[in-house]
Amino acid sequence: MRATLVIPTLNEGTSIGHVIDTFLAAAGEANPRLFGKDPLEWEVVVVDGASTDGTAEIARKAGARVIAEPRKGYGRAYQTGFAAATGEVIATSDGDSTYPVEEIPRLVRLLLDAPLDFITCDRLTKLDTNAMTREHRVGNWVLNYVIRIAYHHYLRGAGGALADSQSGMWVFRRSILDRVTLTQDGMPFSEELKIEVLRNGLRFLETPIVYRERWGAPKLSSWRDGRHNLEFLIRKRIAMGRGGTAPPPGAAADRPAY
């Protein structure tokens, strides 16, 4: 079975080589142990946003297919990466060495066996507080709280709440991309994807992982991105409340066809 790991990068030259090496070593080791006669054939797709620190070359040397996506945004990078992915299963990670990419093969096994449609990794339950700034932790708490209250009706598939609505490590079946409406080019993409999976009644699991301290400078601004994420949650909930599945205001007009 083919599988794709998609990683968005913006100047992650200090860590991207390590992330890809760690992942490919784990994937190679896990294949005979977890997948036997049907090994996963992995491709790593790095969607690079005009990095100036050699990220693209380092990623290519480490074995990734690099796609240049000069348009700004975390969500934009993922929309481009998903459209380019050839795997039946897609996994994701930041390029900053925070996520335990070595866990991905085990999560794919779980996705196929359970069976599930979408797994998201929860950073907060086991969080070492050094791995996240206080602003970031408070912001996450506020967003999770708002989702629990405002989206209560839609969270049955997640047991009533999301522990970590902003997590960026997911493992899912490519086929779900035909069922969800993804419109966000920026950081709200992460919460949009999870809400869409739940809203459509897809088989969902949130599972705790160990999240590590970042290598290199953060690209997220806690307050600005936190505010955008909050505004998006409110706009989307209002649109859903009207019974509409139409994209909320600000949706990208040029969404790729999956």
Ligand X SMILES: Nc1nc2c(ncn2[C@@H]2O[C@H](COP(=O)(O)OP(=O)(O)O)[C@@H](O)[C@H]2O)c(=O)[nH]1
Question: Nearer Cβ to ligand X, position 9 or 154?
Answer: 9
Stretch that binds Mg ion, among 83-91, 92-100, 117-125, 151-159 (CB under 5 A): 92-100
Using the minimum distance from each CB to ligand X, give the nearer residue, 23 or 35.
23
Q: Which is closer to ligand X, CB of 53 or CB of 102?
A: 53
**Residue with smallest beta-carbon separation from ligand X:** 49
Residue 122 CB, nearest distance to Mg ion (Å)?
15
* Binding footprint of ligand X on the chain (CB under 6 A): 8-10, 12, 47-49, 69, 72-74, 77, 94-96, 168, 218-220
Contacted by 16, from ligand X, Mg ion, none: CB < 5 to 8 Å by type? none
Q: What is the 3-state secondary structure (H, E, C) of the chain?
A: CEEEEEEEECCCCCCHHHHHHHHHHHHHHHHHHHHCCCCCEEEEEEEECCCCCCHHHHHHHCCCEEEECCCCCHHHHHHHHHHHCCCCEEEECCCCCCCCHHHHHHHHHHHHHCCCCEEEEECCCCCCHHHCCHHHHHHHHHHHHHHHHHCHHHCHHHCCCCCCCCCCCEEEEHHHHHCCCCCCCCCCHHHHHHHHHHHCCCCEEEEECCCCCCCCCCCCCHHHHHHHHHHHHHHHHHHHHCCCCCCCCCCCCCCCCC
Binding-site partner at residue 74 among ligand X, Mg ion, none, CB < 5 to 8 Å by type: ligand X
Q: Residue count at the site for Mg ion (CB under 5 A)?
A: 3
Does 94 bind Mg ion (CB under 5 A)? Our answer is: yes
Binders of Mg ion among residues 96 to 135 (CB under 5 A) are 96, 98
Q: Which does 47 bind (CB under 5 to 8 A by kind): Mg ion, ligand X, none?
A: ligand X
Considering the complex, state which of residue 58 and residue 240 has its C-beta at the smaller distance from Mg ion.
Answer: 58
**Contact assessment for residue 88 and residue 96, using Cβ atoms and an 8 Å cutoff:** no
When CB distances are held under 5 to 8 angstroms depending on the partner's kind, the choice from Mg ion, ligand X, none that residue 33 binds is: none
Interface ranges with Mg ion (CB under 5 A): 94, 96, 98
